């Protein structure tokens, strides 16, 4: 397959579910008659149901879970951090599958959410060397990691269509292996200068600034939108044979799911 013959999708988790930037076959971001589209889906399964069965998806979410967590993460994390310089803190280690599934409740109260975080950290410490708990940042996306994990366990055919990537690694690779100079966020708030740096890079790879400047769909943040746009370019690189997996070749988890960050 080539990028001209397959639907390309870049996805990122967001408050409302998943934001996806989609490019139809034969289109380019600059072609006004076939511009990319952006939409939000409540679940990853809903996103997959809305696209063709052969579409290629690059998603900002860990794929493939360890049974036991080593220092530095699963393997991909340790390989990509040195590429990112000051941006490497954006790559956090993924705990064991047992920790991910330690508490899967609905967390209807903040107290229940924090209790679940404590429970996950307890399990993580018993399944890691050196013993390590779970960061609040990582715990916040556990439910989304489980969404993709469950789908790839139940539907092995998806393993050749859904690929893990990471926005800062993607931006670095798209920038000639040079990490972004400015942070995307500062103290939890969007950094306009960092966003402008990334938008300029995306435009150099074919996006139109009008597309990137539009308000994101309801339920998604502006940085989620840019990350999904970068993921779509990685999907194109995967289809075109230009993407590289970290590590190369990819590892595999206990279910045979590939473990690698593609960019």
Label each residue of 168-204 as H, E or C: HHHHHHHCCCCCCCCCCEECCEECHHHHHHHHHHHHH
**CB burial string 118-157: b at 16+ within 10 A, e below:** eebbebbbebbeeebbbeeebbebbebbebbbebbbeeee
pLDDT of res. 70 = 86
Kind plus residue range of the DSSP H or E element containing 11? strand 8-14
List of the chain residues with pLDDT < 70: 1-4, 27-34
pLDDT of res. 27 = 59
pLDDT of res. 32 = 45
pLDDT of res. 91 = 81
Residues of the chain with pLDDT > 70, as a percent, come to: 95
What's the gap between Cα 51 and its chain centre? 18
Query: Helices 167-174 and 192-204: crossing angle, nearest 10°?
Result: 50
pLDDT of res. 88 = 82
pLDDT of res. 2 = 63
Burial (CB count within 10 angstroms: exposed 0-12, middle 13-18, buried 19+), residue 225:
buried
Owner of token pair 């590892």: 251
Q: What is the dihedral of CA 195, 210, 9, 174, to 10 degrees?
A: -50
Task: Indicate if the alpha-carbon torsion angle 46, 48, 49, 50 is positive or negative.
Answer: positive
């Amino acid at each position: 397959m080539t990028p001209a013959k397959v639907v390309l999708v870049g996805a990122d988790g967001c408050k409302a579910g998943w934001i996806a930037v989609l490019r139809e076959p034969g289109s380019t971001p600059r072609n006004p008659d076939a511009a990319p589209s952006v939409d939000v889906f409540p679940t990853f399964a809903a996103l997959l149901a809305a696209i063709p069965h052969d579409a290629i998806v690059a998603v900002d979410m860990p794929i493939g879970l360890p049974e036991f967590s080593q220092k530095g993460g699963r393997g991909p994390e340790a390989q990509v951090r040195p590429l990112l310089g000051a941006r490497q803190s954006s790559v956090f280690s993924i705990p064991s599958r047992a920790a991910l599934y330690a508490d899967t409740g609905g967390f209807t109260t903040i107290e229940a959410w924090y209790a679940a975080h404590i429970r996950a950290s307890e399990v993580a410490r018993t399944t890691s060397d050196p013993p390590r708990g779970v960061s609040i940042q990582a715990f916040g996306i556990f439910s989304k990691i489980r969404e993709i994990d469950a789908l790839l366990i139940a539907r092995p055919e998806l393993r050749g269509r859904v690929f893990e990537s990471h926005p800062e690694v993607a931006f670095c690779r798209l920038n000639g292996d040079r990490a972004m100079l400015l942070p995307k966020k500062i103290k939890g708030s969007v950094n306009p200068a960092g966003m402008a740096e990334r938008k300029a890079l995306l435009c150099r790879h074919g996006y139109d600034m009008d597309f990137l400047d539009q308000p994101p769909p309801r339920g998604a943040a502006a940085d989620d939108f840019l990350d999904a746009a970068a993921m779509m370019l990685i999907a194109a690189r995967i289809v075109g044979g230009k993407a590289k997996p970290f590590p190369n070749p990819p590892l595999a988890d206990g279910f045979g799911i590939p473990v690698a960050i593609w960019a």
